[in-house]
Amino acid sequence: MQYLKLNSGHSVPALGLGTWQSDTGAVKAAVKEAIKYGYRHIDAAWAYGNEGEVGEGIAECIKEGLVKREDLFVTTKLWNTFHEVDRVPLALNESLAALKLDYIDLFLMHWPRSVREGAPNPVPPEFIQDIDYVDTYKAMEKLLATGKVKSIGVSNFSIAKIERILEECDIVPAMNQVEMHPLHAQPTLLQYCSRNRICLTAYSPLGAPTRPARLIKDDHPVLLENKVIEAIAKKYDATSAQVVLKWGVQRGCAVIPKSTTKERIASNFDAVNLSLSPEDMESINGLNIDLRLINPDSFRKPGQSEEDFWEGAWF
């Protein structure tokens, strides 16, 4: 397994198990199956509503002697309703209790947007709060001294937003987790984060085929049915998913595909055995059309443009 070295001194496996949109009741078994097969990186979040199942799967694997806690890298995320400075440690404690863990390897700010507690999803405009993500991040910095968090970082942050963190905070984020796949390759963000020693994790690395219906549009191409991807997969006797995952890893990113199916969990993990040629990497790079598939319009303030929401420096 390839590892990425974080600026915090810790290392994260480049391929992990994602748990967003995993079916309720299937997550524990998926986590156990993944750990049995060799996964050591598990990605979770308070907002996914399944940290409890993730924790049960981890706890059972540890109890059965399949793995030690220190062998695992567990990520979870601070949800938008916990951005108030005094609520940040409360959120961490809730996640730790649900995950049945004493510490989190990586704690990320899920979005740079704050919303009031009890906000439904999609979020009505009246639930949006003007709490500066810089203040929230400063509260996250203090968690490192507690020993309950090994590294901190951000998610869904643009270059402009990271610039504010670097200018106004003390600790460089160890990770920025963003949507990234061949149709939304984000090369400029990747180069920027690399220069600043910030690793990138790609969520929805397979093109988010199971994303919520409200985010699907008729003109969205299906990444895994792309002819270039299919031809490269045939060349390596691999699946399209394996090719796309290995592309992400060879770019120096972590990837966290979601699955609750035993066969697909194994197949995704086996992507690490591929080695794509420079020519094939370039062919896949050429598929980028800056197509963002996970675009929660309800997080935008009334009148705020999509570009300003994603690329602007403010919240």
Catalytic positions are 48
Q: What are the structure tokens assigned to 3, written together? A: 């590892």
Rounded CA-CA distance 201/49 in Å is: 21
Rounded CA-CA distance 107/91 in Å is: 10
For the four alpha carbons of 65, 151, 30 and 270, in that order, the dihedral sign comes to negative
Helix (H, G, I), strand (E, B) or coil at 235: helix
From residue 128, alpha-carbon distances to 82, 104, 165, 302 in Å are 12, 28, 21, 10
- How many Cα atoms are found within 13 Å in the side-chain-facing hemisphere of 73? 22
Cis peptide, bond prior to residue 212, ω within 30 of zero: no
Candidates 63, 20, 177; CA nearest to 30 is 20
- What is the gyration radius of the CA atoms in the chain, in angstroms? 19
Helix (H, G, I), strand (E, B) or coil at 73: strand
Rounded CA-CA distance 128/83 in Å is: 11
